[in-house]
Structure 1
């Protein structure tokens, strides 16, 4: 048991550590935590970088001072919990059990980042360790992300629950080529180059949207939501950071579907608030196609995400997936797998697409 023989709570709290060890024993095998967090029930005189300091009410001045010293701060008051870590702030609302701090220690030990471990700790209920599967999967117990702007009225247009093979492609030529091979879900992810102008970008989007229309395909545009609306695109795919700057109401009013990237429990809950057309879950494996802000999720986490969200919103697994990895990805129950290099760098595009498509043939 990795919680034993080390400082988990400060000051030492025997009862809490006993509960934390009992919970941890029921969560299964997870990688050893990269950071050995210490949950401080009172503020230490000399905070450490791996301290998570808990206050039972708002202490904005103390939170600022302690985070500047490298610690993380949790303010827990009534049904609201706010995590301060560096310049980031994570606010959650919902009922919590008496065991939530012990559960937090257990989920931190499973190598979840503090904001994701906090989501799971707040979803934990006393007695869950007695169930055959103790992992929190009842969506009704999960907290809500607080302090978000209202979601667009009516939400976004729906898309199929299972989007199947989902190639992410660099230009309109690739979009046309892949749709010609029978793919019915694809994304144009146009990376800016020195030769790109607004006119070139609009042309690439227009050609891709037209190809999608002719093939009866679900063609998503990455990032460029204004141009996607103007071209009449089927959908737009945005990252978490784009939610703060994109006009979600304009996208919804245009009838354009919205896919949102997520990288863990907190971001999934945040994305669900906006009622998107689908969620992308990743990166499942290491990827070189873009710089990722988070470590790879892995199949064990992906399976838990699908278990929690399946039937609630269409799900797309993304990040480092190739033909060798795809069977394991689909075994989690996810309805779509996004690929990049597995198609664009394949020696034979047609063979690669056919091989991947066959893997989805047995899905319901």
Structure 2
């Protein structure tokens, strides 16, 4: 299935397995189009168990699962893709390991990193942080104009991430943005379904105006 990056949910590690599955299912019903499982502290076994259960759930809704960092787990559960950072295994090496059908995304924060990512075969790039965020401790705010500069230099899909809320979405350029990655705006919402629905409606309004 061709990935739709429009509303890209990134999970939070603090959620127990059952709560994680409930939250993600509600969010998918509300309009989430792709899900990244991000686990920084979990053991490999727990990460694998979460990934396996999440993959089964998302398959039911035909929503792709992306695994953060762990290429071995992505392959083990037959995920749709893997997302790596600048300090992880180099993209060119990752592409040699994963099946040809697997999506490989990478986080970038400069034009140089974005251009290199495209040259090395990335399927999409995550660009951020576009706003201040508490979801990722090491996330640095992008300089003003950097997001637009990156979108002009690459032809692969660009996903904006970092501190995105319904009320600041309109501050981002709709042009050339393939999707918006949300963490706490959905994962910590009282109602993940309505949160996802609000994001989708706001994104759709922006696209229709551009």
Q: TM-score, normalised by structure 2?
A: 0.84
1:153-204, Cα deviation, whole Å (9 max, x unpaired): xxxxx954x5101111125423333223332211111231xxx443222110
Among 297, 301, 325, the alignment partner of 2:146 is 301
Aligned residues of 2:159 and 2:177 also touching (Cα < 8 A): yes
- Match of 2:148, SS state, is helix
Q: Which has the larger radius of gyration?
A: 1
Aligned residues of 2:28 and 2:196 also touching (Cα < 8 A): no
Aligned to 1:270: 116
Please say if 1:190 is aligned against 2:39: yes
Q: Cα gap change, 1:278/1:247 in structure 2, threshold over 3 Å: closer, same or farther?
A: closer
Q: Cα gap change, 1:183/1:256 in structure 2, threshold over 3 Å: closer, same or farther?
A: same
1:67-117, Cα deviation, whole Å (9 max, x unpaired): xxxxxxxxxxxxxxxxxxxxxxxxxxxxxxxxxxxxxxxxxxxxxxxxxxx
Q: Give distance in 1, aligned partners of 2:100 and 2:57.
A: 20
Aligned residues of 2:159 and 2:178 also touching (Cα < 8 A): yes
Aligned to 1:10: none
> Please, which runs of 5 or more residues in structure 2 have no aligned partner?
none
- 1:176-187 map, 5 Å: 176-187=25-36
1:301-345, Cα deviation, whole Å (9 max, x unpaired): 212222232xx1011001111111112224344120101111122
- 1:146-161 map, 5 Å: 159-160=2-3
- Match of 1:324, SS state, is coil
1:249-307, Cα deviation, whole Å (9 max, x unpaired): 111x25211111001112112212211110111111121112336x4115522122222
Among 346, 360, 363, the alignment partner of 2:189 is 346
Aligned residues of 1:322 and 1:341 also touching (Cα < 8 A): no
- Match of 2:134, SS state, is coil
Counting matched residue pairs gives: 199
Q: Give distance in 2, aligned partners of 1:165 and 1:247.
A: 25
Aligned residues of 2:30 and 2:194 also touching (Cα < 8 A): no
Please say if 1:167 is aligned against 2:9: yes
Please state which structure has a larger fraction of its residues in helix. 2
Aligned to 2:136: 290
Among 257, 261, 280, the alignment partner of 2:103 is 257
Among 81, 95, 99, the alignment partner of 1:248 is 95
Compare 224-233 and 266-275 and name the one that shifted more.
Answer: 266-275
Q: Give distance in 1, aligned partners of 2:60 and 2:36.
A: 15
Larger RCO (alpha carbons 8 Å, 6+ apart): 2
- Match of 2:54, SS state, is helix
- Match of 1:350, SS state, is helix
Q: Give distance in 2, aligned partners of 1:321 and 1:191.
A: 21
